[in-house]
Amino acid sequence: MKLKLFAICLGLFSITFTAFSDTKSDELINANIKTMGGKEKLGNIKTLYFEVNMEVPSQNMNLKLTIFEKKPDMIRFITEIPAMSMKMEAGTDGKEFWATQPGSDAKSALPESAVPQIKQQINSFKSMISSPVLDYNTEEVTTTYKGVQDINEKKYNVVEFSEKEGSKFDMYFDVITNLIYSTKIEVEAQGSKFLIENKIVEYQKKDGIFFPKRIEIYQNGEIQQKITIENIQINSEMNDSDFKVK
């Protein structure tokens, strides 16, 4: 159960929008993109390096992630679990997916059965610090503006996103900064319903672009993960060979 919920929490980072919007929702989304740095500046990111410290209180676990991304499809990430002296690496060159075993630097191509899981992880990491509404357009998701909500003496514009298959989630935009404060979604796992919230507690700015710095993920109001993003590097040199299995 915990592993499934952990994957669901990470999955919140990989929401992609293709939506039909009302006017107010469209204004808020465009304002957010502009505040984050603008479409041109965000679109000029070719490579991205960042480090993630992740605390999982529910499992009494701490992880360190080092992520290298070269657009459009290359990514590799190193996962370290200090308490277990464990280090693993995985990635893709956009065609073939690979991973190493703990204690080994040797890369091995993943079987087809393991690819969906690694794809989910990769999409989560890629979207962790990217604007979740950058690729927004008007086709498959309906947006509805739900008004202003007060949270801890601050005001947030709330937009509901409704997908064709019936799932819905709410996104909260700070009325002053236009930055995304949180995303809330109700999910069902093993016959039970859970309210999952992905909350951006703090932002940081790098080369004129806003990125999340601290993220907290809640399940039914209880903290599940605390994430800190550090040492962001934009458009640093990366070799294609580092993303290949051989």
Q: What is the DSSP string of 34-57?
A: HHHT-HHHHHT--EEEEEEEEEEG
- In angstroms, rounded to a whole number, what is the distance separating the alpha carbons of residues 71 and 158? 31
Of 94, 102, 62, nearest to 81 by C-alpha is: 62
Residue 28: phi and psi, rounded to 5, are: -65, -40
- Number of residues that make up the chain: 246
3-class SS of residue 32: helix
In this structure, are residues 81 and 60 in contact, taking their beta carbons and an 8 Å threshold?
no
Give Cα 205 distance to the centre of its chain.
Answer: 17
Level-2 CATH architecture, domain 2-243: Clam (2.50)
> What is the structure's pLDDT at 99?
95
In this structure, are residues 228 and 53 in contact, taking their beta carbons and an 8 Å threshold?
yes
> What is the structure's pLDDT at 236?
96
- In angstroms, rounded to a whole number, what is the distance separating the alpha carbons of residues 38 and 30? 9
Q: What is the DSSP string of 146-168?
A: EEEEEETTEEEEEEEEEETTS-E
- C-alpha to C-alpha distances, 228 to 10, 54, 57, 132, 149, nearest whole angstrom: 14, 6, 14, 18, 26
Domain borders along the chain are: 2-243
Give 138-173 pLDDT, tens digit per residue.
Answer: 457 788 999 999 999 999 999 998 877 777 889 999
Omega cis (within 30) before 72: yes
Place of tokens 């996962």: 79
> What is the structure's pLDDT at 240?
96
Secondary structure of 222-238 in the HEC alphabet? EEEEEEEEEEEEECCCC
For 26, left (φ over 0), alpha (ψ -120 to 50), or beta? alpha
> What is the structure's pLDDT at 165?
72
Ranges of residues in the chain whose predicted pLDDT is under 70: 1-21, 135-139
The structure tokens listed for 38 are: 């603008």
Helices 2-11 and 115-128 sit at what angle, rounded to 10 degrees? 50
